[in-house]
Amino acid sequence: MNRLLTILAVASALTAGCGGGAPEQESGEEQAAPAPVAAGGELTDFQLEHGIGPVTEPVQLGEPDEELAAAGEQIFNLKCMACHRLEDRYIGPPLGDVLDRRTPTYVMNMMLNPTGMTERHPDAKAVLAEYLAPMPNQDLTVEEARSVLEYLRLAATKVDVEQ
Amino acid sequence: MSFRRNAILGLVTVAAIGIGIFACQTTGRSTDLVSARDAAAAVYVPPGEYDEFYAFMSGGFSGNLTVMGLPSGRLLKTVPVFSQFPENGWGYNEETKAMLQTSYGFAAWDDSHHPELSMTDGVPDGRWIFINANNTPRIARIDLTEFETKEILEIPNSAGNHGSPFITPNSEYIVATTRFSVPVPNRDMPISEYASNFKGMLSFVRANDPGNMDVAFQIIVPGYNYDLAHAGKGPSHGWMFFTSYNAEEAHTLLEVNASKRDKDFIAAVDWRRAEECVAQGSARSMPARYVHNYKGEDRIARSEMRESVTVLEPATCERLVYFLPTPKSPHGVDVDPTGEFIVAGGKLATVIPVHSFSKMIAAIEEQKFEGEVDGIPVLQYDAIIAGEVPDPGLGPLHTEFDGRGFAYTTAFISSEIVKWSLETFQVVDRIPVYYSVGHLMIPGGDSRQPWGKYLVALNKMTKDRYLPTGPELAHSAQLIDISGDKMRLLLDFPTMGEPHYAQAIPAELILEKQLRLYRLSENRNPFATMGEGAAKVTREGRRVHVQMTAIRSHFAPDNIEGVEVGDTVYFHVTNLEQDWDVPHGFATLGMETAELLIMPGDTRTLTWVPKQPGIYPFYCTDFCSALHQEMQGYIRISPRGSGVPLAWGTGGRLTTQAAN
């Protein structure tokens, strides 16, 4: 329990903007001076394509689901809209066309694990470098994230995103 | 202070002359420590690790409650209770102001003395902690999932709520007593009519139904000073014991006039008998005005005035109260873990008297009475006493227990703690403390099952224990290891306000049920802003409601226009974060109140009446992110009647509403 709380506390501190994760030291080589160490370590091909987080199987979108999208819209307005708009860049990037750029699984992992993603995933790190504001964890369940994904998917057909 | 300040000064003078404590400034620095290295290891909590115990230290004259870790003595939190707390806006913002309402008006300060954990089966259960307000009599309930004060009940017909809020083994009741007897009902009369008209009152408050704290009944007793209390347990479950002094019924110079008699009384109250008398109609309903404040599910405090109270008199409810004669102005009354022994701290006594519960019951059955006061039988001292502990130090005050057959009593004047056996009633160990100890605390030490590893001495005088800080010094607590035969002093640590009394509980009983954030979807504040798209400014006559959101790292709206001098502006700020430990703060230039500190998912409201036209910046006061310093905004205040339209927005797009 203590360890879990410690991890959560560390995660929380990081979200508050206190710096990157602990670098892993490379071993086995003799060095005159320490080499630069990248945060995060190696990612799998799945993680590179679909992101790092609780969703570890590719999401199958299936038939469009208006009801699910409506539930997702409510959550988006409550928890996401403070930083994201569909058509324009705001605190973070516009999301109306996010599925043109990312896989559905990547989008869900970004919603569910923003701290881990911005620490370890090269694409998420690049977005953070551009926008500068780290994405906060908004405590979504996997089901809630799926509904927000459906909202973004259906909204994409209705908006004209400015880049 | 547990009793009169001038008395303390007198006693301290005696102590200074007689024992020379002020001259012994190096005593206890190292000589009493078995070894500094052992002591340091015993209190060291490595970085990232947790303490073993949560300790709840009363704030005394700060009116609040501080939470510290043991054995480290680290300060974890101040929980505001009876005093305004600008650090988080407690008692200033619209959601908490009503918590400080009393029948006398808004009370910005009080004096909180005795924290008391809720109990199940005679053992602290970690649900709630209660604490008393001494000056304007009240009892507060603090929820231990949020560490926030949720409920405050005023006690009518009472003054100086010192002997409070001691709890019964299943949290059936917490009690309140009148340290100052007053006319009942209180009214204008000559003070010299004290003896005939002033009364004491012992109040029993229902404690185990959140939101519904109420005075179940009050018992009118003679006009003494009722000081402290503890509930019976085990065989004595169903009884509550209250100390009193000033059986002389003095109303001036009590230092002398209340110290004349050999013995005062412990009042033993059979509270199940009280329930019977109330059920049988022996009680009367008496008009009384007192306030109940409660923070409900919407987390907004509301006050309601109550208009009557149920009162019992011993003369019309026989077998309700008995007086136990007890030497020399007893202060603490403490019941051992078995429930058999009732230990009194007679602050002017030369022994610690220990009453026997079983002997008390036998004496009642055999009617071994030596007299009667206002219908209350006075039991014969010799018939109820189990033993007297000789040589307990000067000025014994309070006793707690380790669960292994030993009791620990503080001696205020001789500034020490004595350990004595509940079998032999002999002192087996003693340790000096620095200086002038009042209460002591062993985790669970007043319960059926103490966690008898540590003892905390709560000292009234600090003097030279820390780097000096001018005339006003932090008070001092000392941690003592009681796990072995000999007590070992481990640590001094400063406390906030007066650490009058404290309680502690193993961390695991509280740790795992901690709330980390409020779910936005469960926010019931009528001015909550459910998402940035819902942020808005509305005008109702001269009132302007700003429904604002906060998230790392901006407010919405952050530009506001159309507000005029003399408007009452309500900033209802909703924290949209849904992550642990990401509060946002809010303050605006020139406000005459305290900041808001808003936890994730919560809404708090700051009220401001601007007096001068101009541009007023506002900003986030709690460092929240790398861009915290960017988290700011402006509100434009125009002259009265200027007709500037109401407009608000974030990011350049203002929504406008024509001036009305």
Reference A135, options A127, A143, A147, A123; nearest CA is A127
Asked if the Cβ–Cβ distance from A82 to B576 is below 8 Å, we say: yes
What's the pLDDT at B42? 95
With a cut of 50, say whether residue B23 has pLDDT above it.
no
B627/B286: higher pLDDT: B286
Q: Which residues of B273-290 are buried (b: 16+ CB within 10 A; e: fewer)?
A: bbbebbeeeebeeeebeb
Q: Split chain A (163 residues) into runs of 10 and give each run's mean pLDDT.
A: 43 39 44 60 92 96 96 96 94 95 97 96 96 94 98 86 61
Nearest to A8 among B511, B577, B580 (CB): B580
Nearest to B552 among A2, A77, A136 (CB): A136
Asked if the Cβ–Cβ distance from A77 to B533 is below 8 Å, we say: yes
Cross-strand pairs, B153: B139, B292
Reference A82, options B584, B55, B78; nearest CA is B584
Tell me which of A91, A132, A137 to substitute to probe the interface with B (most B C-beta atoms closer than 10 Å).
Answer: A91
Burial of residue A160 (CB within 10 Å: 0-12, 13-18, 19+) is exposed
User: Chain A: nearest CA to B102, how far in angstroms?
Assistant: 38
Residue B268 identity (one-letter amino acid): A
C-alpha span between B238 and B571 (Å, rounded):
50
Residue B347's pLDDT band, with cuts at 50, 70 and 90, is confident
Grouping H, G, I as helix, E, B as strand and the rest as coil, residue A136 is coil
What's the pLDDT at A27? 45
Chain A residues with beta carbon closer than 8 angstroms to that of B578: 79, 136-139
With a cut of 80, say whether residue B369 has pLDDT above it.
yes
Q: Which residue of B has its CA nearest to A13?
A: B581
Model confidence pLDDT, tens digit, residues B169-198: 999 999 999 999 999 999 999 999 999 899
Chain A residues with beta carbon closer than 8 angstroms to that of B49: 2
C-alpha span between B394 and B385 (Å, rounded):
21
Nearest to B549 among A12, A82, A138 (CB): A82
User: Chain B: nearest CA to A51, how far in angstroms?
Assistant: 21
Asked if the Cβ–Cβ distance from B532 to A82 is below 8 Å, we say: yes
Tell me which of B509, B578, B628, B650 to substitute to probe the interface with A (most A C-beta atoms closer than 10 Å).
Answer: B578
Question: Running DSSP on this structure, what letter comes out for residue A56?
Answer: -
Asked if the Cβ–Cβ distance from B534 to A77 is below 8 Å, we say: yes
Torsional sign, CA A126, A127, A128, A134: negative
C-alpha span between B586 and A155 (Å, rounded):
35
Asked if the Cβ–Cβ distance from A132 to B626 is below 8 Å, we say: yes
Chain B residues with beta carbon closer than 8 angstroms to that of A1: 511-512
Q: Which residue of A has its CA nearest to B578?
A: A138
Model confidence pLDDT, tens digit, residues B566-579: 999 999 999 999 99
CA dihedral B623, B629, B631, B633 (to 10 degrees): 130
Reference A38, options A53, A25, A47; nearest CA is A25
User: Chain A: nearest CA to B176, how far in angstroms?
Assistant: 39
Average pLDDT taken over every residue of chain B: 93
Q: Are B130 and B115 in contact (CB under 8 A)?
A: yes
Query: Between vectors from CA B469 to CA B466 and to CA B472, what angle results, nearest 5°?
Result: 105
Nearest to B532 among A9, A17, A81 (CB): A81
Other CB atoms within 10 A of residue A158 CB: 9
Region B377-398: mean pLDDT is: 96
Cross-strand pairs, B274: none
Q: Is A7 on the interface with B (CB under 8 A)?
A: no
Q: Are B215 and B246 in contact (CB under 8 A)?
A: no
Model confidence pLDDT, tens digit, residues B140-169: 999 999 999 999 999 999 999 999 999 999
With a cut of 60, say whether residue B340 has pLDDT above it.
yes
With a cut of 50, say whether residue B4 has pLDDT above it.
no
What's the pLDDT at B626? 87
Asked if the Cβ–Cβ distance from A133 to B551 is below 8 Å, we say: no
Model confidence pLDDT, tens digit, residues B266-316: 999 999 999 999 999 999 999 999 999 999 999 999 999 999 999 999 999
Chain B residues with beta carbon closer than 8 angstroms to that of A90: 651
CA dihedral A129, A134, A135, A136 (to 10 degrees): 170
Asked if the Cβ–Cβ distance from B579 to A12 is below 8 Å, we say: yes
Reference B65, options B136, B5, B132, B1; nearest CA is B132
With a cut of 60, say whether residue B521 has pLDDT above it.
yes
Q: Are B221 and B184 in contact (CB under 8 A)?
A: no
Q: Is A20 on the interface with B (CB under 8 A)?
A: no
Q: At what angle do helices A104-112 and A142-155 cross, to 10 degrees?
A: 130
Reference B430, options B465, B462, B457; nearest CA is B457
The H or E element spanning position A75 is helix A66-75
Q: Are B338 and B307 in contact (CB under 8 A)?
A: no
What's the pLDDT at B569? 98
What's the pLDDT at B22? 39
Q: Which residue of B has its CA nearest to A88?
A: B651
In terms of phi and psi (left: phi > 0; alpha: psi -120 to 50; beta: otherwise), the region of B502 is beta
User: Chain A: nearest CA to B514, how far in angstroms?
Assistant: 11
Region B207-224: mean pLDDT is: 96
Asked if the Cβ–Cβ distance from B578 to A16 is below 8 Å, we say: no
For the sheet with B341-346, list strands across it.
Answer: B330-335, B341-346, B351-356, B385-390
Q: Is A90 on the interface with B (CB under 8 A)?
A: yes
Q: How far is CA A37 from CA A20, A114, B201, B549, B653, in A?
A: 12, 22, 72, 39, 43
Tokens found for residue A51: 């992101």
Nearest to B582 among A6, A16, A79 (CB): A16
What's the pLDDT at A16? 40
Tokens found for residue B268: 């033993």
Nearest to A2 among B49, B519, B532 (CB): B49
Grouping H, G, I as helix, E, B as strand and the rest as coil, residue B549 is strand
With a cut of 50, say whether residue B7 has pLDDT above it.
no
DSSP B161-218: --S---B-TTSSEEEEE-SS-EESS-----GGGHHHHEEEEEEEEE-SSTT--EEEEE
What's the pLDDT at B29? 52
What's the pLDDT at B13? 43
C-alpha span between B119 and B153 (Å, rounded):
19
Reference B407, options B467, B487, B463, B298; nearest CA is B487
C-alpha span between B141 and B153 (Å, rounded):
9
What's the pLDDT at B652? 78
Other CB atoms within 10 A of residue B420 CB: 25
What's the pLDDT at B658? 66
Model confidence pLDDT, tens digit, residues B530-575: 999 999 999 999 999 999 999 999 999 999 999 999 999 999 999 9
User: Chain A: nearest CA to B519, how far in angstroms?
Assistant: 9
B59/B34: higher pLDDT: B59
Q: Which residue of A has its CA nearest to B554?
A: A82
What's the pLDDT at B387? 97
Nearest to B577 among A2, A132, A136 (CB): A136
C-alpha span between A61 and A70 (Å, rounded):
16
The contact set of B with A (CB < 8 A) is 48-50, 511-512, 517, 519-521, 530-534, 549, 551-554, 556, 576-582, 623-628, 651
What's the pLDDT at B346? 84
Chain A residues with beta carbon closer than 8 angstroms to that of B576: 78-79, 82
Q: At what angle do helices A142-155 and A66-75 cross, to 10 degrees?
A: 110
With a cut of 50, say whether residue B3 has pLDDT above it.
no
Taking one residue from A and the other from B, the number of pairs with CB-CB distance under 8 angstroms is 78
Asked if the Cβ–Cβ distance from B512 to A134 is below 8 Å, we say: no
pTM recorded for the entire structure: 0.90
Tell me which of B580, B599, B627, B628 to substitute to probe the interface with A (most A C-beta atoms closer than 10 Å).
Answer: B580
Q: Which residues of B435-470 are buried (b: 16+ CB within 10 A; e: fewer)?
A: bbbbbbbbbbbbbbebbbbbbbbbbbbbeebeeeee
Other CB atoms within 10 A of residue A29 CB: 6
For the sheet with B646-650, list strands across it.
Answer: B596-598, B584-588, B614-619, B632-638, B559-564, B646-650, B653-657
Chain B residues with beta carbon closer than 8 angstroms to that of A9: 580-581
Chain A residues with beta carbon closer than 8 angstroms to that of B530: 77-78
Region B363-384: mean pLDDT is: 97
Region B591-601: mean pLDDT is: 98
What's the pLDDT at A35? 62
Asked if the Cβ–Cβ distance from A91 to B576 is below 8 Å, we say: no
What's the pLDDT at A34? 66
Q: Which residue of B has its CA nearest to A14?
A: B625
Asked if the Cβ–Cβ distance from A132 to B627 is below 8 Å, we say: yes
Percent of chain B scoring above 70 in pLDDT: 94
Residue B25's pLDDT band, with cuts at 50, 70 and 90, is very low
What's the pLDDT at B18? 40
What's the pLDDT at B376? 97
Q: Is A1 on the interface with B (CB under 8 A)?
A: yes
Residue B26's pLDDT band, with cuts at 50, 70 and 90, is very low
Nearest to A82 among B48, B521, B551 (CB): B551
Chain A residues with beta carbon closer than 8 angstroms to that of B511: 1, 5
Model confidence pLDDT, tens digit, residues B463-498: 999 999 999 999 999 999 999 999 999 999 999 999
Percent of chain B scoring above 90 in pLDDT: 90
C-alpha span between B357 and B341 (Å, rounded):
6
Chain A residues with beta carbon closer than 8 angstroms to that of B556: 82
Nearest to A12 among B49, B580, B623 (CB): B580
